[in-house]
A and B are shown apart, each in its own frame.
Chain A
């Protein structure tokens, strides 16, 4: 398991990248996908997921489509045009961050 406080800042980037790679997805699908990709190390609870999704939607980075599954509504989330370029930027920033961290945390040669 990866500690929650480590994940906190990167959750948004993870969600954006998943949507960029998989097109439209619904919430449960996102949590499953994250679990699968991280081989169970990252468990994305819906408590963490939906506040972020709603914020991204309000900011215009993602848009929703609605489908009915029986009686219930299923909301699919997908990147908008602005969301797409923003995602690329966020992913770059993240790798930059990881590289910097690796450099900083790497044990110094004796």
Chain B
């Protein structure tokens, strides 16, 4: 009896399913039988066909059938499944490559740059596009290409900016600024709208949260790596002031030397000349290291103001420690300090000179070892400070000897 009624309505049910968007024949058989069973069950409880069929249609809902069909076809699409697996494996290996590269970078081993750049390039050019394409294809409802596109641009710019920054290529700051802009005025509002639209109905999509976190992590990381503008300005101001003072003091010393040539005994003149020559040698070393650092981060001959922002923990290591005269400078400066200590008998003047040459003390030695982990501007500033100390000590010592 019931079976007969359903058989009579078979074509109609089938037509309804087609109207609701079902086209895949093999799934059609399954769902037709399933729905008929549901209707039968309702009818066995005494309802008539019409009301129980409408009830079943209500429980199915409008968009449900295309979604099920989409999911089934994706499950069966081996090419798509392979693409998905490939995406994950690929993303994982690119990430590992990048992380190993960062480790190499940290240890200052060769090959770090190329690993980071290749790793991040693979992430940006292969993994991210594949990832957004697959996750977009998996969605059925409310497909909106704006989400993946904004998401992709944000992440791609962030990562590209980060790798440009690491490699000191131009344009890094621009990229990072634009990507943070995308994050704040594109991605976050879109994402919040999405959450509110779906609230209560569907869970928030995890990938988007992950992306948001990655974005925030990048921004935090970069702001930590970069010296803040304020601090940078303090360092450059101090460094320039030091350089100006060195010039001034050296001018005064030149006056003293002129005076010495005219008036003092020959043996004292020899001592004064020795002090002056040593001080000059030390200044030459400092200038050499300063120039080396600037050449490392920018055009040789650029001024420190042009490159102050090029934060870079390699310039000092390279231009002071590895290929610079850092350790020779410290040794010579210590000899200079020892010599002045011997020549100057007055304890008050001796203490003054000791203050000027404080950087030759063991404390400063320790600080000098941190050159490799300090940004350019800090190392530059420390060198100007040493130069100032040398110039002042030289002046004080010569003035003392002249007035004796």
Asked whether A50 lies within 8 Å of B36 as measured between CB atoms, the reply is: no
Cα A72 to Cα B68 in complex, Å, equals 20
Asked whether A51 lies within 8 Å of B37 as measured between CB atoms, the reply is: no
| B238 is an interface residue with CB less than 8 A from chain A | no
**Interface readout for B231-269 with A: 1 if CB under 8 Å, 0 if not?**
000000000000000000000000000000000000000
| A90 is an interface residue with CB less than 8 A from chain B | no
Q: How many residues of B contact A (CB 8 A)?
A: 25
What B residues does A72 contact at CB under 8 A? 6-7, 10, 29, 32-33, 36
Number of A-B residue pairs having CB atoms within 8 Å of each other in the complex = 65
**Interface readout for A1-40 with B: 1 if CB under 8 Å, 0 if not?**
0000100000000000000000000111001000000000
Asked whether A54 lies within 8 Å of B33 as measured between CB atoms, the reply is: no
Asked whether A75 lies within 8 Å of B29 as measured between CB atoms, the reply is: yes
| B26 is an interface residue with CB less than 8 A from chain A | yes
What A residues does B10 contact at CB under 8 A? 70-72
| B64 is an interface residue with CB less than 8 A from chain A | yes
Residue of B3, B4, B6, B72 with highest tally of chain A CB at under 10 A: B72
Cα A50 to Cα B29 in complex, Å, equals 11
A53 to chain B, nearest CB (A): 7
Asked whether B76 lies within 8 Å of A50 as measured between CB atoms, the reply is: no
| B45 is an interface residue with CB less than 8 A from chain A | no
Asked whether B33 lies within 8 Å of A70 as measured between CB atoms, the reply is: no
| B367 is an interface residue with CB less than 8 A from chain A | no
Asked whether B34 lies within 8 Å of A46 as measured between CB atoms, the reply is: yes
Asked whether A55 lies within 8 Å of B75 as measured between CB atoms, the reply is: yes
**Interface readout for B26-41 with A: 1 if CB under 8 Å, 0 if not?**
1101111110111000
| B19 is an interface residue with CB less than 8 A from chain A | no
Asked whether B30 lies within 8 Å of A53 as measured between CB atoms, the reply is: yes
What B residues does A69 contact at CB under 8 A? 3, 33, 36
Cα A52 to Cα B27 in complex, Å, equals 12
Known: A54-B27, A54-B75, A70-B7. A47 touches B33 (CB 8 A): no
Cα A51 to Cα B31 in complex, Å, equals 11
Cα A55 to Cα B34 in complex, Å, equals 18
**Interface readout for A71-92 with B: 1 if CB under 8 Å, 0 if not?**
1111100000000000000000
Residue of B nearest to A70 (CB): B7
Asked whether A28 lies within 8 Å of B38 as measured between CB atoms, the reply is: yes
B99 to chain A, nearest CB (A): 28
**Interface readout for B1-28 with A: 1 if CB under 8 Å, 0 if not?**
0011011001000000000000000110
Known: A51-B68, A55-B75. A27 touches B26 (CB 8 A): no
Cα A28 to Cα B29 in complex, Å, equals 12
Q: How many residues of A contact B (CB 8 A)?
A: 22
Asked whether A47 lies within 8 Å of B64 as measured between CB atoms, the reply is: yes
| A58 is an interface residue with CB less than 8 A from chain B | yes
Asked whether B26 lies within 8 Å of A54 as measured between CB atoms, the reply is: yes
* Beta-carbon contacts under 8 Å, B46-91 to A: 64, 67-68, 71-72, 74-76
Cα A74 to Cα B36 in complex, Å, equals 10
What A residues does B67 contact at CB under 8 A? 47
Asked whether B26 lies within 8 Å of A28 as measured between CB atoms, the reply is: no
What A residues does B7 contact at CB under 8 A? 70-72
Asked whether B76 lies within 8 Å of A5 as measured between CB atoms, the reply is: no
Binding site for B on A (CB under 8 A): 5, 26-28, 31, 46-47, 50-55, 58, 66, 69-75
Given A28-B34, A47-B64, A73-B32, list of 15 further CB < 8 A pairs? A26-B33, A28-B38, A46-B34, A50-B68, A50-B72, A51-B75, A52-B75, A54-B26, A54-B76, A55-B72, A58-B75, A70-B4, A71-B7, A72-B6, A72-B36
Name 27 interchain pairs, CB-CB below 8 A, sorted by A.
Answer: A27-B34, A28-B34, A46-B31, A46-B34, A46-B68, A47-B64, A47-B71, A50-B72, A51-B68, A51-B71, A51-B72, A53-B30, A54-B26, A54-B27, A55-B75, A58-B76, A69-B3, A69-B33, A70-B3, A70-B4, A70-B6, A70-B7, A70-B10, A71-B10, A72-B36, A73-B32, A75-B33
Binding site for A on B (CB under 8 A): 3-4, 6-7, 10, 26-27, 29-34, 36-38, 64, 67-68, 71-72, 74-76, 203
